[in-house]
Amino acid sequence: MKRAYYIIIGLFILASCTKEIEVPLDEGDKKLIVESWFTNEQKVHEVKLTQSSSYFQNEPAPKVSGALVQISGGGETFNFHEESPGIYHSDDEIGAQYMTSYTLRIEYEGEVYEATDHCDTVPSLDYMDLNPNYNDDGELTGYDILVWTQELTGFGDYYAWRVLVNGEYVSDTLSDFTFASDDFLGDGLYFEGWPIEWVEDVETGDVVRLEQHNLSKASFDMYNAIMLETEWRGGIFDTPPANVPSNFSNGALGNFVVSSMKASEVTVP
C-alpha cells in the first residue's frame, strides 16, 4: 500500500509543477512571396504577390500593392497591372513560345527580384475520358481521368497535370496536382487510357478540363524539394527540415514556372 501511495503522491507533484514558458521568436525580415505560372496558352496571365508574416499570426498573408511587374523573353516584354491588391494581370492576352526562356522581374520598395524558367515542348493530349468509381453501396464516388498521350522520346522530360471543373482549378495547390519525371514513365511510350488524375463532387453537365504541362527540370526539382519539406514528411528516415526552395533572386520566396501546355475536356455524363 505504501508503494502505491508514494507513486500517487509523486504523480501529483509532477502534475502540479508544470509552468508555462513563453519562448520569444525572432520574426525576421519580411519576405516577398511570388506565385506565377506562365504558359503557352494565349490568355491574361496572373502574378500573385504577398509578404511573409509572423509564425503566430493567424490571418492571411499581407498582400503586396504598388509593385512593378513584367515578364520578358524571346525579344518581347509583357507589362502587368495591379488588378486588385496583390493580384497583377498582364495588360493583354499573352503566351510563351516553345523553347524560349522567360524572366519575371518585380520591383518593389526599391528592391528588384527576378526568376527565369524555360518553356519546353509538350506532347499532344490526344484524348481524355472519365471512368466512374462506385463504393460498396453502389454510390458514385467520383471519376478517374484517363488520358491518351505520347511520351516524348529521350529521357529528361518532366510533366504536370492540372484539373479544372467549369473553368475553375480544383488542383490549384502543389499537393493537389500530379507531377512526374519520364524516368518513371517509360521513354517514348504511348499511354492509352492511363489514369492520371481524379475528380469528385461533379454533376451531370459539368465540364472537366485536363491540362498537360511540360516542366523544365528546374521547376520539377523545385516542386519535388517543396513536397519533401512539406507533404512528404513524417518517416523515420526524413532529412532535417530546410527552407523551401525558390527560384527568385534577392531572397524572395515562391516560384516562377514557365511551361508549354496541351488541354482536353469532357462533359460529365
What digits encode the pLDDT tens for the residues 106-120?
A: 999 999 999 999 999
CATH number of the domain that residue 161 is part of: 2.60.40
For residue 250, is it within any domain?
no
Q: Kindly report the pTM of this predicted structure.
A: 0.80
End-to-end CA distance of the chain: 73
Q: Residue 37: name the closest of 251, 249, 260 by CA.
A: 260
Residue 138: give the domain boundaries.
Answer: 125-244+260-267
Same-domain pairing of 100 and 140? no
Cell of 90: 498582364
Same-domain pairing of 66 and 153? no
Among 119, 138, 168, which residue terminates a domain? 119
**H or E segment and range at residue 219:** helix 217-229
Q: Residue 231: name the closest of 161, 158, 165, 177 by CA.
A: 177
Under 8 Å between Cβ of 106 and 113: yes
* Better-predicted residue by pLDDT, 264 or 10: 264
Kindly give the pairing relationship between strand 100-108 and strand 168-169.
unpaired
Question: Is a pLDDT exceeding 50 seen at residue 141?
Answer: yes
pLDDT level of residue 61 (50, 70, 90 thresholds):
confident
Question: Is a pLDDT exceeding 90 seen at residue 177?
Answer: no
pLDDT level of residue 30 (50, 70, 90 thresholds):
confident
